[in-house]
Amino acid sequence: MQEFVIVGGGQCGARAALALRDHGFAGRITLIGEERHLPYERPPLSKEHLMSSEGIEPPFIVSSAVLAERSIEMMTGDTAVILERESRSVELASGRRVAYDKLLLATGSSPRRLPSLEGMEHVFYLRTHDDAQRLSQRLVPGGHLAIIGAGFIGLELAAAARQRGLEVTVIEAQPRILMRAVPEAIASRVHALHESHGVRILCGTSAGRIAAHAAGITLSLNEGEVLDATTLVVGIGAEPRCELAQQAGLSVENGIAVNAALQTSDPAIYAAGDCCSFPYGDKRIRLEAWRNAQDQGAHASANMLGAEKPYEIIPWFWSDQYDFSLQIAGLANEATSTITRQIDEEAVILFHLADDHRILAASGWGRGNRIARDIKVAEMLIAQRARPAPDALSSAAVSLKSLLSRS
């Protein structure tokens, strides 16, 4: 009987394990997770789960009953520490050794940390359900939450904290918020929304000396201001979990390097999700996104069974803040022009084009699900390498679906 092992008990690993059974794999599946919980969804941790100080169960992806029904062995609270490629086995922190015929590394990512703050009271990072539970208990009305980093996590957290009655200050070293992932035209709208809800955002600002005291944290900012907060959250990005791959001598390049089939430099080992970098067009990218983790987990499972299909799904990101949603399809890094499609007073989509007018990406912002349908169609246009007329893209009177190729 073949034995497949998945290291990583998050979204990616769990979806891969379930997909193996869906694809008809009848061998043994072992899923290894270092957290004490069964696999759960992470996006709610910076949103709904911070809205209550009461204990909330993680949003589980799969139950013990389903794991048993599908004959998936789940090891929780244990960490893979040694990968032996010659013997095809993984040694765990508990001392247990698990053999494999095929291995999937879905080790995810971990928050980028500030070494000077290690062990300091009142300082938090947000990655796990337990992190969210501890932080939620600190979000007491009347408190002051300081956040270092104006990325998705920091801003989602800011929105949740304001809705719970805290004063919130966001400190961002870059000239504007969401510098890495979101175009300025939309980032400015996000910035304005937060300020309208009372969030203070300090861009181009860094914290020098940070000190803890009995009631909280004091931050000395580079502009001379001394900021006093009850709680500090650091949200300055994430780093891929590559320790196991590096120890085993696998190729690592901004994550565990895989080919188009999500296969590492060892043919018996695959990688997927936040931990891996993969080919996209003529470059190599790494995505920290919910849907990428889900899609790559399922895709890797099919290729472990011999499908050998390239992963060609268009990148997609989303973030909910207050009652607005931000969605981005594709990557706009190499765009040379932008066309704006104003849907209504609050909702807008930007189409990012290459030199040949091909759509590379689309960025949308609007209340509720106002932009969801158009972003979904934009994904299809990107996949088709479409080059619609600029007037058609900019006019909300023209249905985006009408621009899709029928061939």
Domains annotated for the chain, with CATH where assigned, are 3-110+238-304 (3.50.50.60), 113-234 (3.50.50.60), 323-403 (3.30.390.30)
Both tokens assigned to 96: 């247990």
Distance CA 349, CA 299 (A): 29
Distance CA 377, CA 375 (A): 5
Sheet of strand 256-257: strand arrangement: 256-257, 276-280, 283-285
**Can you give the pTM of this predicted structure?**
0.95
295 Cβ contact partners less than 8 Å away, ≥ 6 residues apart = 311, 313
**Backbone φ/ψ region at 358: left (φ over 0), alpha (ψ -120 to 50), beta:** beta
Per-residue pLDDT of the chain (407 residues; tens, 9 = 90+): 899 999 999 999 999 999 999 999 999 999 999 999 999 999 888 888 787 767 778 889 999 999 999 999 999 999 999 999 999 999 999 999 999 999 999 999 999 999 999 999 999 999 999 999 999 999 999 999 999 999 999 999 999 999 999 999 999 999 999 998 899 999 999 999 999 999 999 999 999 899 999 999 999 998 889 999 999 999 999 999 999 999 999 999 999 999 999 999 999 999 999 999 999 988 999 999 999 999 999 999 999 999 999 999 999 999 999 999 999 999 998 899 999 999 999 999 999 999 999 999 999 999 999 999 999 999 999 999 999 999 999 999 999 999 998 75
DSSP symbols for 332-354: -TT--EEEEEE-SSS-EEEEEE-
Distance CA 318, CA 379 (A): 13
Distance of CA 221 to the CA centre of its chain: 29
Distance CA 272, CA 256 (A): 9
Helix and strand element counts for the chain (H, E): 9, 26
Long-range contacts of range 314-319, CB-CB < 8 Å, 24 or more positions apart? 314/379, 314/382, 314/383, 315/280, 315/285, 315/287, 315/289, 316/289, 316/291, 316/292, 316/375, 316/379, 317/152, 317/181, 317/289, 318/290, 319/152, 319/155, 319/156
**Backbone φ/ψ region at 214: left (φ over 0), alpha (ψ -120 to 50), beta:** alpha
Token look-up 């291995």 returns 103
